[in-house]
Amino acid sequence: MRNTSLYSAFIAASLSLISVATQAYSISGLQDASTNGSGWSGATADYQIIATPGATPGTNEWFSRYTLGNGDSRFNIDESILGQFKNAPLQDNVGAGLAAASESVRVTFLGTGAARNSVLFLAQQGSDLLDRTAFWDPIYATGGTNNLGTFNPVNTSNQLFETRGGCEYAEAKAGNSCVPDNLGQSRVISGLAVGDSLIFGLQALVLHYNADNIHYPNTNYFFSGAAANNQDSKGWNDGQVHTKVLNLGSNRFLVGFEDIWGGGDRDFNDNVFLFEGVSVDIPLPPVVVSEPVSLPLFGLLLGGLWWRRRTVHRLPV
């Protein structure tokens, strides 16, 4: 009886530590792509499928979904953006930590190239590093990273997006026509203090797909920022950096997650999110995003080149 009481007290204390970290903020309901202020016309954003160059059948990202057709081209994910995550400047061995630059932060889900479903959540606010004891101890006590039946640290108060909901691997494989429910949608995190450290977690869920020999038997947790956020006393995490960040300027950053234990293919574009109203703790140069040239502008450019060439040829010798 005494042991049961001690166990209950331990769980309650651990949960109270987590609740302390989540009391100060509130997360809005999902904002459809057509109403989130980013210029999409539909309830779910248009998307494109981007395959990984040189990948082998069964492992390439034909099932990927990345946003397209957004009013701000910097939020449209293309091959150039995906390639820049892998070699993001100054982040080979250092994870860029995020902090609130205003009292509210908007997060938008811009796409997934991952096979398995994941959930993005706000793991901690206000400290520089993850309180690993508060996060991991309740999970240790209930059986491990692959057991979410008794204790699940992701709940309605901290959950942001489900990345493949409505379009999981088997459904995409069957017809490749489904769209993730949350693609192009936003949430706003309010009640923040400027300078608050924000640590986001990715809960990567179990997936088995025998036909393609895909097996992810455990639910894993990966955190933004420093590699120290991905360490724990029992070694259930891998101690590596799992996010890379691209600077869009004006306190806007693209954040890409690597969702495989041990680093996977280290492309850091398995799940991509836009964060607005944040800063980072290392200096990052602005990313170069290609802007499409409109047809009228292209015509003016051609006309200018023709006129210049004509004028040059008419000059006296």
Residue 313: per-residue pLDDT: 46
CA 142 to chain centre: 27
Pick the range with the lowest mean pLDDT from 33-42, 90-99, 238-247, 251-260: 33-42
Residue 153: per-residue pLDDT: 93
Picking from 41, 13, 31, 39, the residue whose alpha carbon sits closest to that of residue 190 is 31
Residue 264: per-residue pLDDT: 83
Contact 68, 45 (CB under 8 A): yes
Picking from 32, 13, 31, 22, the residue whose alpha carbon sits closest to that of residue 157 is 22
120 or 127: whose pLDDT is higher?
Answer: 120
Tokens for 217?
């038997």
Contact 47, 61 (CB under 8 A): no
Supply φ then ψ for residue 136, to 5 degrees. -85, -35
Picking from 21, 226, 198, 221, the residue whose alpha carbon sits closest to that of residue 136 is 221
pLDDT tens readout for residues 152-192: 999 999 999 999 999 999 999 888 889 999 999 999 999 99
The rounded distance, in Å, linking the Cα atoms of 48 and 68 is 6
User: Is the confidence at residue 73, as pLDDT, over 60?
Assistant: yes
The one-letter amino acid at 146: N
182 or 290: whose pLDDT is higher?
Answer: 182
Residue 46: per-residue pLDDT: 85
Cβ neighbours around 147 below 10 Å, total:
13
pLDDT tens readout for residues 17-37: 444 444 589 999 999 877 777
Angle 132-141/2-22 helices, nearest 10 degrees? 140
